[in-house]
Amino acid sequence: MSTRCGSTDRLVAEGVVARHVEERNEPGRPRLAFSAVGRSGKRSYRLLAEILVSFVSGTMPDAVTAATEAGRTWGHYLTERPPPYRWTDEEESVSELLRILGDIGFVPGLVQFGKHREIWLRHCPFREVAEAHRDVVCAVHLGLMQGALAEMRAPLTADRLEPFVEPSLCVARLGDPASRYPP
């Protein structure tokens, strides 16, 4: 590839491609050459997650409350807030919540039993860590859903999360908020 283009510059910036100038022994402009950059090294996100979760659960007096609050904060961050004086309806809220959960790595689905609504979360992206530190990891997930719904000014809340009701299924119970304006 001898020409520069925006996508090549992006690949160079991301570290996927290396750009170098070929040496020439004749007159003329030097030629740009590109080569793929080998990705070396092992990624250790699970180890990092284990370290952080064990730290939270081992050093904080109320780790579940702290984890829930951290989840709420990230739920607010991951959600687009509606304009002032606009509330999202239930369908729009659930759709956005399912999108967020899907982006994280869950395979979420809405299940309704009469007036009772649940979000079934399959394929927990943190399953291995959650099996060892269920209280903290699941509190983060519940808080994330609560924060996202609060940020949307949704007409429903995530009341509780029942982890591992089946080996690869957690169930979030949805309910009506006590107030449309959370603290």
The overall longest dimension of the chain from CA atoms, in Å, is 80
96 lies in the same domain as 149 = yes
Same domain, residue pair 30 and 64: no
The domain spanning residue 116 has which CATH number? 3.30.1380.20
99, 127: one domain: yes
Asked whether the beta carbons of 97 and 145 are under 8 A apart, the reply is yes
Residues 109 and 25 in one domain: no
How many structural domains compose the chain?
Answer: 2
State the Cα–Cα distance between residues 37 and 62, nearest whole angstrom.
45
Better pLDDT: 41 or 77: 77
Is 64 within the bounds of a domain? yes
Tokens of 145: 């859903």
Examine the pLDDT at 1 and tell me if it is beyond 60.
no
Whether the pLDDT of residue 104 is over 80: the answer is yes
Q: Are strands 157-166 and 169-175 parallel, antiparallel or unpaired?
A: antiparallel
50 and 31 in one domain? Answer: no
**In which domain, by residue range, is 21 found?**
6-36
pLDDT of residue 5: 57
The answer as to whether 21 is a domain residue is yes
- Same domain assignment for residues 67 and 90: yes
Residues 125 and 73 in one domain: yes
Whether 182 maps to a domain, the answer reads no
Which has more confidence, 24 or 138?
138
DSSP calls for 95-157: HHHHHHHHHHT-EEEEEEETTEEEEEEES-TTHHHHHHSHHHHHHHHHHHHHHHHHHTT-S-E
Enclosing H/E stretch for 175: strand 169-175
114-123 pLDDT, tens digit per residue, is 888 999 999 9
What is the mean predicted confidence (pLDDT) over 15-23?
79
Residue 15 shares a structural domain with residue 80 = no
Examine the domain organization and report whether 24 and 97 are in the same domain: no
In a domain, 28, yes or no: yes
Look at residue 157 in the predicted model and tell me its pLDDT: 95
- Fill in the DSSP letter of residue 174: E
Q: What is the CA radius of gyration of the chain?
A: 23
Is the domain of 12 the same as that of 77? no
Same domain? For 152 and 110 the reply is yes
